[in-house]
Amino acid sequence: MTSPVLTLTTDFGQADPYLAIMKGTILSIHPQVQLVDISHEIEPQDVAQAAFVIGTSYRYFPKGTVHLIVVDPGVGSHRRPIALATPEAYFVAPDNGLLSYILAEAGANPPPGAQAWAGERMPSLYLWALPQPLQAITLNNPRFWRQPLSATFHGRDIFAPVAAHLSKGTPLNELGEPIPSLLAFPPPRPEVMPDGSLLGHIVHVDHFGNLISDVTEDDLKSTKLTVEAGERHIEGLSRSYSEGGELLAIIGSSGRLEIAASNGSAAQALQLGKGDTIIVRTRKSY
Amino acid sequence: MTSPVLTLTTDFGQADPYLAIMKGTILSIHPQVQLVDISHEIEPQDVAQAAFVIGTSYRYFPKGTVHLIVVDPGVGSHRRPIALATPEAYFVAPDNGLLSYILAEAGANPPPGAQAWAGERMPSLYLWALPQPLQAITLNNPRFWRQPLSATFHGRDIFAPVAAHLSKGTPLNELGEPIPSLLAFPPPRPEVMPDGSLLGHIVHVDHFGNLISDVTEDDLKSTKLTVEAGERHIEGLSRSYSEGGELLAIIGSSGRLEIAASNGSAAQALQLGKGDTIIVRTRKSY
Amino acid sequence: MTSPVLTLTTDFGQADPYLAIMKGTILSIHPQVQLVDISHEIEPQDVAQAAFVIGTSYRYFPKGTVHLIVVDPGVGSHRRPIALATPEAYFVAPDNGLLSYILAEAGANPPPGAQAWAGERMPSLYLWALPQPLQAITLNNPRFWRQPLSATFHGRDIFAPVAAHLSKGTPLNELGEPIPSLLAFPPPRPEVMPDGSLLGHIVHVDHFGNLISDVTEDDLKSTKLTVEAGERHIEGLSRSYSEGGELLAIIGSSGRLEIAASNGSAAQALQLGKGDTIIVRTRKSY
């Protein structure tokens, strides 16, 4: 089955030739594919940020879309090139944690004792066993690679050609050998404190300066809450960005608690960023 | 009639997942559509800048192109989601002034007494009646929305799906109810001063630092003119950027008077920006 | 023969309407073409950088791809608009050196005595005679231009429409008259010093801060070498970015010697940039 859509997520920026070289390589194999950029402004080598971005985006694409993700600090070392098939989509990437949110959402679990990522630059990776119906392979069939293989640009030489062949309908098992587990980090989760409050983490700061946390709608027992962020206390949940005071707490479009500023950047107003923490207290009602 | 081309203009930047989420939503409904980015570097919530950018671009696209514009500071409040059909194109956007240049060019008029925008961040909006053959609807048919509807991302939940359905051939009147008027601001226009000179406004500063004004070729009675910009006087009109001295005045590609620097940024050289004014004097010939 | 792929390389940035205006113009002529952005972050008017970027990218695209390159400081002056056909691809651009790397790779030669570019902003241009089978034309058939022709935006009025017609299958010789030579600069090359060492030039600094030189793999007689860059000496060639110390020398993906930093930007660590020099010494083995 061919896939008309192939997305790209990288830390390449758009000033250099690298992204275009991958696109040209893909189109040389599958000229009819529709290429969609997810983001190329991932911070250089920031696997966790790329994992968040693809983890938040993929579910909105057509079933069977091929997602190519290349943030690859270990290129040329022993990290494996892999592909993952889920019921929704295909993913082609280095095996370095880029698919962590996707695995978690697809029902895979970290091994016992694994520490959740808490906003540091480089999360600790663990081998996650893949439950049915997930299938993964290591990309070890050089017939589908560009030759000669470089040690510096597997995006061009392995990942792009394999993604193009997948989107053209080549079956997964021709591209490499099955593997039972992938490296991933447990996505960040808020901690329940002894006093019942939640200690949440900022996992992303968006273009508007909104601070997006790991606290989800389901984690909140009440909308009567106080969020402590930086030195400020924000009372209650707003329903829209244009409502409420200068700073507001809101459930954002991906179902996560966000701190926003109605006329500007909450990140700037609060001097908070990725990895910082917030405290969410449910207000007692007497 | 299906439209092969759908353009996107937003203030989302390209680092976050938001733009990709809209594109995935569109492709899930209409996989064959050709997506074209107009700009995603509109300053956050700068409706006037987005109105200028789409107003300058749309006429170069194929007839029937669907233009999706999402700069939406009022998401979740009472502003209406709308679509507009002109003889040239379709536009899908919040009803907050984004289509002002398009309405003005299509022959609609502001109500008497409306103040033209003069470069401030937030222009004042007025209800403009739509003349024939313009048609507008409010997007109030939830059958074409993504469910559940969020209060924070109508780009994903209303505008993207409606634009995709329009490009796929769904008739306008199935997507919502007709409305007779839209909110818009009168585009900036130069003022004629008592001494006969023109007081123009800088409406856009481009990537090269060119200062683009609201003075059009038709406003100039002679090419024998002096432009006063900052503390500098520029004599005469140049025909090309590579002609003339350090600073030059020129009719740019959209028919507007621009101040340019032949080897650099006029904005930097003059320390001028959006909303600043220039004076254009036709030289007397004795 | 129609070409499904048309690439764009400009110094327009992506905030202004200019790029979208060219894309709309192309799609109005050839709606089925697949548009691919190579880069729009070329520094304003930096012909040499654009020449490097397209020269490094084009060979990865499908045979017959049309490459449109618009970095055009001389727009409206006497520089010629041109198209070049090679066995691999078509190129549409102003005749100002943008195709220098492509000509050099296709076997054309600069006239005797021409000085190689050595990293300055504006390289000196020379007329290069075109060997078989290269074919060039000057775009002097106004039937394929947008009318009225402006003096400020030939990207919209000449280059985009001609590129669209080429991709749609219009034969080269209908678009203009054959010309025997094009303006180009000799791409930078390392100099052999009296002591046998190589004096190389930094020709590009990429998004990761890697310093890419004009020294190629073939220029090196041994991997036992020392690279002197800034005030640092780097011993030996690394095989991958994750190997070696803080700073490393490596043959990058385009076959050029690069200086990289394993955890950051070599450009920042060494305070070096485009036009700076490095010295490569092959170590004597006693």
Query: What is the per-residue pLDDT across C195-213, written as a single tens digit (0 to 9) for each?
Result: 999 999 999 999 999 999 9
* Contact flag C16-B252 (C-beta cutoff 8 Å): no
Which of C16, C28, C156 is nearest residue B206 as measured by Cβ atoms? C16
Mean residue pLDDT of chain C comes to: 93
B280: closest CA of chain C, how far (Å):
21
Round to whole Å and give the CA distance between A204 and C136. 51
* Contact flag C56-A21 (C-beta cutoff 8 Å): yes
Residues of A in contact with C37 (CB under 8 A): 14, 20
Residues of B in contact with C152 (CB under 8 A): 240-241, 250-253
Q: Which helix (H) or strand (E) holds A9?
A: strand A5-10
Instruction: State residue A244's pLDDT score.
Output: 64
Instruction: State residue C124's pLDDT score.
Output: 93
Round to whole Å and give the CA distance between C167 and C94. 18
Q: Which residues contact B214 (CB under 8 A, 6 or more apart)?
A: B187, B188, B189, B190, B200, B201, B203, B256
Q: What is the DSSP letter of A32?
A: T
Select the more confidently predicted residue: A129 or B117. A129
Residues of B in contact with C153 (CB under 8 A): 252-253
Which of B28, B73, B151 is nearest residue A62 as measured by Cβ atoms? B28
Query: What chain A residue is nearest to B43 in terms of C-alpha separation?
Result: A208
Q: Which residues contact C254 (CB under 8 A, 6 or more apart)?
A: A17, C56, C212
Q: How far is CA C106 from CA A40, C68, C79, C95, C99, in A?
A: 32, 18, 23, 17, 10
Q: What's the rounded mean pLDDT across residues B252-265?
A: 92
Confidence of residue B244 (pLDDT cuts 50, 70, 90): low
Round to whole Å and give the CA distance between B270 and A182. 57
Instruction: State residue A285's pLDDT score.
Output: 47
Query: What chain B residue is nearest to A32 in terms of C-alpha separation?
Result: B32
* Contact flag C253-A150 (C-beta cutoff 8 Å): yes
* Contact flag C76-B243 (C-beta cutoff 8 Å): yes
Chain B touched by C113 (CB under 8 Å): no
Checking if the pLDDT of B139 tops 50, the result is: yes
* Contact flag B208-C44 (C-beta cutoff 8 Å): yes
Round to whole Å and give the CA distance between B282 and C144. 37
Checking if the pLDDT of A281 tops 80, the result is: yes
Chain C touched by A17 (CB under 8 Å): yes
Closest by Cα among A155, A124, A152 to A139: A155
Q: Rounded to 5 degrees, what angle do the CA atoms B66, C18, B51 make?
A: 55
Residues of A in contact with B32 (CB under 8 A): 4
Chain A touched by B119 (CB under 8 Å): no
Confidence of residue C286 (pLDDT cuts 50, 70, 90): very low
Interface B-C, measured as beta-carbon pairs within 8 A, has a size of 94
Checking if the pLDDT of A50 tops 60, the result is: yes
* Contact flag A60-B25 (C-beta cutoff 8 Å): yes
Neighbours of chain A (3+ CB pairs under 8 A): B, C
Q: Would the ipTM clear 0.90, i.e. be above it?
A: yes
B141: closest CA of chain C, how far (Å):
30
* Contact flag B77-A207 (C-beta cutoff 8 Å): no
Residues of A in contact with C204 (CB under 8 A): 16
* Chosen from C21, C32, C154, C157 to mutate, greatest number of chain B CBs within 10 A: C21
Checking if the pLDDT of A243 tops 80, the result is: no
Chain C touched by A12 (CB under 8 Å): yes
Residues of A in contact with B47 (CB under 8 A): none
Confidence of residue C118 (pLDDT cuts 50, 70, 90): confident
Q: What is the DSSP letter of C97?
A: S
Query: What chain A residue is nearest to B35 in terms of C-alpha separation?
Result: A36
Select the more confidently predicted residue: C222 or A3. C222
Round to whole Å and give the CA distance between C248 and C264. 11
Mean residue pLDDT of chain B comes to: 93
Instruction: State residue B285's pLDDT score.
Output: 47
Q: What's the rounded mean pLDDT across residues A215-230?
A: 91
Checking if the pLDDT of A286 tops 50, the result is: no
Mean residue pLDDT of chain A comes to: 93
Chain A touched by B27 (CB under 8 Å): yes
Closest by Cα among C122, C128, C138 to C80: C138
Query: What chain B residue is nearest to A205 in terms of C-alpha separation?
Result: B16
C18: closest CA of chain B, how far (Å):
8
Q: Which residues contact C189 (CB under 8 A, 6 or more apart)?
A: C116, C214
Chain B touched by A39 (CB under 8 Å): yes
The tokens 């980090």 sit on which residue?
A185
Q: What's the rounded mean pLDDT across residues A141-154?
A: 95
C62: closest CA of chain B, how far (Å):
20
Closest by Cα among B220, B218, B224, B210 to B258: B210
Query: What chain A residue is nearest to C14 in terms of C-alpha separation?
Result: A14
How does pLDDT run across A28-39, given as a tens digit for each residue? 999 999 999 999
How does pLDDT run across B164-211, given as a tens digit for each residue? 999 999 999 999 999 999 999 999 999 999 999 999 999 999 999 999
Closest by Cα among C114, C57, C120, C68 to C94: C68
A258: closest CA of chain C, how far (Å):
27
| C-contacting residues in B 203-262 (Cβ below 8 Å) | 204, 206-208, 239-243, 250-254
Residues of A in contact with C10 (CB under 8 A): none
Chain C touched by B13 (CB under 8 Å): no
Confidence of residue A284 (pLDDT cuts 50, 70, 90): low
Which of A32, A44, A153 is nearest residue C253 as measured by Cβ atoms? A153
Chain C touched by B32 (CB under 8 Å): no
* Contact flag C241-A150 (C-beta cutoff 8 Å): no
How does pLDDT run across A81-113, given as a tens digit for each residue? 999 999 999 999 999 999 999 999 999 999 999
Q: What's the rounded mean pLDDT across residues C126-133?
A: 96
Q: Which residues pair with C69 in a beta bridge?
A: C9
* Contact flag C62-A24 (C-beta cutoff 8 Å): yes
Residues of B in contact with A253 (CB under 8 A): 18, 21, 150, 152-153, 156
Chain C touched by A127 (CB under 8 Å): no
Percent of chain B past pLDDT 70, that is, above it, reads 98
Tally Cβ neighbours within 10 Å of residue A41: 19
C68: closest CA of chain A, how far (Å):
14
Percent of chain A past pLDDT 70, that is, above it, reads 98
Tally Cβ neighbours within 10 Å of residue A111: 11
Which of B39, B61, B239 is nearest residue C27 as measured by Cβ atoms? B61
Chain B touched by C52 (CB under 8 Å): no
How does pLDDT run across B10-33, given as a tens digit for each residue? 999 999 999 999 999 999 999 999
Which of B39, B240, B254 is nearest residue C15 as measured by Cβ atoms? B39
Q: Which residues pair with B235 in a beta bridge?
A: B226
What is residue B41's three-state secondary structure? coil
Chain A touched by C56 (CB under 8 Å): yes
Instruction: State residue C244's pLDDT score.
Output: 64
Which amino acid type is present at position A205? V
Instruction: State residue B150's pLDDT score.
Output: 92
Among the ranges given (A236-245, C22-31, C37-46), the one the predictor scored with the smallest mean pLDDT = A236-245
Checking if the pLDDT of A263 tops 70, the result is: yes
Instruction: State residue A46's pLDDT score.
Output: 94
Chain B touched by C13 (CB under 8 Å): yes
Q: What is the DSSP letter of A241?
A: T
Ramachandran category for residue B169: left, alpha or beta (phi over 0 → left; psi -120 to 50 → alpha): left
Instruction: State residue B223's pLDDT score.
Output: 80
Confidence of residue A1 (pLDDT cuts 50, 70, 90): low
Chain C touched by A13 (CB under 8 Å): yes
* Chosen from A16, A29, A34 to mutate, greatest number of chain C CBs within 10 A: A16
Q: Which two tokens stand for residue C184?
A: 């180009």
Residues of B in contact with A56 (CB under 8 A): 17, 21
What is residue B228's three-state secondary structure? strand
